[in-house]
Amino acid sequence: MKTIKLLILVSLLYPIQLWAADFNVNGIYYNITGENTVEVTNNAPEMGVYSGNVEIPESVVFEEITYSVTGIGQSAFMLCNFLTSIIIPGSVENIESNAFFLCGTLSSVVIPEGVKSIKDGAFSRCNTLISVSIPNTVKNIGNSVFANCTNLNEITVAIENPSIVNYGANIFDAVNTENCILKVPDGTSSAYNTYPWFDFDNIETQDKAPTDISQVNSFNTKIYAQNNTIIVENTTVPICIYDLLGNFIVKGENGQFKMPQSGVYIVKTGKSAQKIIVR
């Protein structure tokens, strides 16, 4: 009864997608949006069908046609209370309304470079969400996108010119902006003294990852991932690890480095760098 009442309330506040998916591949449902494009969707009218660690592919094949995954559809992961992590590919351009509304166990999200629009209520009421990364490619952030994410304590933003982004209302409503750390690109902190960023008391600047990863590490250096940990062996130079947005994660020497979530990371050892996938 509580769930029914909640769905009625949500449907009054936000539109909910209630049509069936076009097809399913490897447990992920898709709607065809163009000749060769799809978006991830739910299995309406059943809600909350995704759980555990979900990795969305950049492309998917159905009936011998290859589709690029360019969006996360309206209400796609809504009420997925057992969704613990999500990997969003760089092919995604749009995250639609209520895409992750009320995901009760999601703790961290990296929105990849390539996403242009995050629409109304996309991550609203994700009460366990602790950290989120927003890429430089974002040009639109809708109403109440992170509203009532009451445990959000770190937002990493790669947007170099926040004034050109279109913002909705109440984006960070009920977020504790006094304690939540806002990390912005080096040299841009003054540009974040405008809506919706001006309420954040703690603004930090961040170093960027190396852009040239063509150099290969010494053959003696061994870098690999095991579970959610990156392991670096046989190097005498400092190690820096970044996410794909260029956000600094950790620095150290030979050893094991636990990552905040699954995804692709850049491991820099001296003047060399390479990408490592953490699953």
pLDDT in tens, 105-125: 998 898 988 999 999 999 999
pLDDT in tens, 258-278: 887 778 888 888 777 888 888
The CATH homologous superfamily of the domain defined by 222-278: Immunoglobulins (2.60.40.10)
Mean pLDDT value across the chain: 87
pLDDT at residue 32 in the model: 97
Please report, for the chain, the start and end positions of each structural domain, with discontinuous segments joined by +: 2-206, 222-278
What percent of the chain has pLDDT above 70? 88
**pTM for this predicted structure:** 0.75
Contacts 24+ apart (CB under 8 A), 173-180: 173/144, 173/147, 173/148, 174/147, 174/148, 174/149, 174/150, 175/146, 175/147, 175/148, 175/149, 175/150, 176/150, 176/152, 177/201, 178/202, 179/153, 180/152, 180/153, 180/154, 180/155
For residue 162, give the 3-state DSSP assignment: helix
What percent of the chain has pLDDT above 90? 56
| CATH code given to domain 2-206 | 3.80.10.10
pLDDT greater than 90 at residue 201: yes
The answer to whether the 2-206 and 222-278 domains have the same CATH topology is no
Local confidence band at 212 (pLDDT 50, 70, 90 cut-offs): low
pLDDT in tens, 17-30: 556 799 999 999 99
- What is the distance between the alpha carbons of residues 278 and 85, in angstroms, rounded to a whole number? 12
For residues 186-212, give the mean pLDDT. Answer: 85
pLDDT greater than 50 at residue 12: no
